[in-house]
Structure 1
Amino acid sequence: MTQANQSSVSEFLLLGLSRQPQQQQQLLFGLFLSMYLATVLGNLLIILATSTDSRLHTPMYFFLSNLSFVDICFSSTTIPKMLTNHILGSQTISFSGCLTQMYFFMTFGDVDNFLLAVMAYDRFVAVCHPLHYTTKMTHQFCALLVAGLWVIANMHSLLHTLMTARLSFCADNRIPHFFCDVPPLLKLSCSDSHLNELLILTEGSLIMIIPLASILVSYICITCAVLRVPSTKGKWKAFSTCGSHLAVVSLFYGTIIAVYFNPSSSHSAEKDIAAAVMYTVVTPMLNPFIYSLRNKDMKGALTKVISMKFFSVQ
């Protein structure tokens, strides 16, 4: 029994980009680097704008700045390691490093997931109960919400990391991915992983389904409220905002559900990598544009921040 719990694998090989031809690897390296830099820069500008402009010290922008921070951390958990491995010509990651990466990847992904639901609830209160908005969405309540999200996300990540750590990895240590994730590790395990898969399909499903259901209910209520607005221009503006948010929600949840809530035997490396790129790189990069750059107040704050930085350099 003790031997079954011991892993003979001390490191894994991340085969993400190495499976492609050399010329295509260089192209993908440049593409990933560009998208990562755009993600960091775009989200940092959002954080700076919301923290320096007093007009943006509201619950909506408080959640948005938290989302931007989490998006930076989410992408930074996986992309820098992949880029570093490519530069150094190495594919290795230690067993403990793999579990650590998996833990933080799940933590930031869960917080991102919860924040999308909280932002939808914030819009629901603002549209459906505007007179009670300031009394319901207080600074203390918003801070408690965010703190609670971090606690739940860390508990969920710790549970799945410990469950993965108990598995045995005997011979094959090649992960056909660009980071350590649960499904590829389960496929490599030479011990029984049915309990891990059951945990993903039960507890993991609740972590995803409850926020998604909250978002859908919030936007159904928002839609009903907007349909009662007599102004056509007001309706179009509200629906446009909802459409942008729901597009990101669909992209984020659709790819995650496709990867995590299917039996591991049905996964293919190519599909998992393509889906992972969408929710680890593309979605965090697009969030600043979708949530902020369409907003006049945010545009003004961003222009002010960029102007201040430019003139300070001069």
Structure 2
Amino acid sequence: MASHNGSSVTEFVLLGLTQQPELQLPLFLLSLGIYVVSVLGNLGLTVLIGLNRHLHTPMYYFLFHLSFIDLCYSSVITPRMLMSFLNQNTIPYAECMAQLFFFAFFVIDECYILTSMAYDRYVAIYKPLLYKVIMSHWVCFMMTVGVYAMGFVGAMAHTGCMLRLTFCGSNVINHYMCDIPPLLRLSCSSISINEIVVFVVVGINVTGACLILFITYTLILSNIFCIHSRKGRSKAFQTCSSHIIAVSLFFGASAFMYLKPSPAESLDQDKIYSVFYTIMEPMMNPLIYSLRNKDVHIALKKTLKKRIYT
């Protein structure tokens, strides 16, 4: 039975992360552990921020959305990858396109929520006296609406262009998810429009966001170096260090993945690189933002005490 877009392919086969039998079980257990930590960490952080009033500030407002995005992001990718380790490799055409849409949606959201967090830190350090005025509830809300709107537009562009393609040959995807590069290699029709869309959308979202981040942190660092107090400089650096680590992890891996030349023989390497921003990064964010964060530690202690004594 042909699919609605004229393709003869009604389902795809995901090869998964590796085809070596001896690595299947160790990688399954490792991936399952990472996913559990990611879910618990991001879900715990969203609940903690929601329950504690003193964390209802712009910084933690954006961190709440980052954790929510990471929770959804990892849940779109990792469960399907875990199934591939159990030899459940087939994915229906419609489910594959849905995974592609939500993957693109959340990865673009991640770009812009990290950019919004950088702007928040810029205002907090560069204009501390006007911080509450500039980063009002309405401004934070509108920035978040913009984040999700950009994600929706980008995801629709990628998925819409993929739906117009015809798949009539091999249905084997050399990946653990329905990503754009391996899907394009299976198309029987011209992919020139898709390549332009990938270049434009990824260029705007990754390069544009990186440019904003570079300008923002240049201004932040110039202001920090102007602080005469060593204690003041140290405190300012601490407020930015977690975000810099998270940004470096995400943008470094995603930019290398999508903005480099992509020869056919690099598919196996691409899978390894994509692990960093699809699986590792959602796990790392709650750890990065909570381990050295005194406010989160205090909120956690208060929440646990309330639960014990009620």
Q: Secondary structure at the match of 1:114?
A: helix
Query: Any idea what the Cα deviations from partners look like across 1:128-168, whole Å, max 9, x if unmatched?
Result: 01111111111111111111211121111011101011111
Structure 2: give runs of 5+ residues left out of the alignment. Answer: none
* 2:12 corresponding residue in structure 1: 12
Distance in structure 1 (CA, Å) of the matches to 2:99 and 2:33: 22
8 A contact 2:69–2:109 mirrored in 1: yes
Kept in 2, the 8 Å contact 1:46–1:302? The answer is no
> For residues 186 and 262 of structure 2, what CA distance do their matches in structure 1 show?
10
The alpha carbon displacement at 1:86 in A equals 3.2
Counterparts of 1:1-314 in structure 2 under 5 Å? 6-17=6-17, 19-21=19-21, 23-87=22-86, 89-265=87-263, 268-309=266-307
- Three-state SS of the structure 2 residue aligned to 1:80 is helix
**Higher mean C-alpha deviation, range 92-101 or range 46-55:** 46-55
Q: Which range moves more in the overlay, 250-259 or 93-102? A: 250-259
Query: Secondary structure of 2:185's match?
Result: helix
Distance 1:212 1:310, change over 3 A: farther
1:41 is aligned with what amino acid? L
Q: Give the drift of 1:288.
A: 1.1
- Per the alignment, do residues 266 and 218 of structure 1 end up closer, same or farther by CA in structure 2, a change over 3 Å counting? farther
Once the 2 structures are TM-superposed, how far is the Cα of residue 307 of structure 1 from its aligned partner?
Answer: 4.2
2:118, 2:216 within 8 Å by CA — same for their partners in 1?
A: yes
TM-score by length of 1: 0.93
CA distance in structure 1 between the partners assigned to 2:138 and 2:239 by the alignment: 26
The alpha-carbon deviation at position 210 of structure 1 amounts to: 1.6
C-alpha distance 311-284 of structure 1, shift in aligned 2 (>3 A): farther
Could you say what the CA RMSD is over the residues aligned between the two structures, in angstroms? 1.8
Q: Per the alignment, in what secondary structure is the counterpart of residue 12 of structure 1?
A: strand
User: 2-side partners of 1:20 and 1:236: how far apart?
Assistant: 48
Relative to structure 2, which stretch is displaced further, 146-155 or 96-105? 146-155
Instruction: Give the superposition deviation at 1:20.
Output: 2.1
Distance 1:203 1:234 in 2: 40
Equivalents in 2 of 1:226, 1:266: separation in Å? Answer: 46
1:259–1:267 contact (8 Å) kept in structure 2: no
Are residues 303 and 127 of structure 1, via their aligned partners in 2, closer, same or farther at CA, if it must alter by over 3 Å?
same
SS at match of 1:13: strand
- Measured after TM superposition, the shift of residue 28 of structure 1 is 0.4
Moved more, 270-279 or 27-36: 270-279
Letter paired with 2:6: Q
Query: What secondary structure is seen at the aligned counterpart in 2 of 1:81?
Result: helix
Rounded Cα–Cα distance in structure 2 between residues aligned with 1:137 and 1:188:
47
Partner-residue secondary structure (3-state), 2:13:
strand
Query: Deviation at 1:224?
Result: 0.8
In structure 1, list runs of 5 or more residues that go unmatched: none
TM-score, normalised relative to structure 2: 0.94
Say if 1:40 and 1:72, in contact at 8 Å, map to a contact too: yes
CA 1:103/1:210 → structure 2, altered by over 3 Å: closer, same or farther? same
Q: Once the 2 structures are TM-superposed, how far is the Cα of residue 15 of structure 1 from its aligned partner? A: 0.6
> 1: CA distance between counterparts of 2:224 and 2:123?
13
Q: How far, CA to CA, are the matches of 2:262 and 2:299 in structure 1?
A: 46
Change (3 A) 1:171 1:19: same
Alignment partner of 1:171: what SS?
coil
Alpha-carbon shift at residue 72 of structure 1 (Å): 0.4
- Cα distance, 1:107–1:304 mapped onto 2, change above 3 Å: same
Kept in 2, the 8 Å contact 1:47–1:69? The answer is yes
Letter in 2 for 1:141: V
Letter in 2 for 1:129: K
Work out whether residues 186 and 264 of structure 1, in 8 Å CA contact, stay in contact via their aligned partners in 2: no
% identical equivalent positions: 40
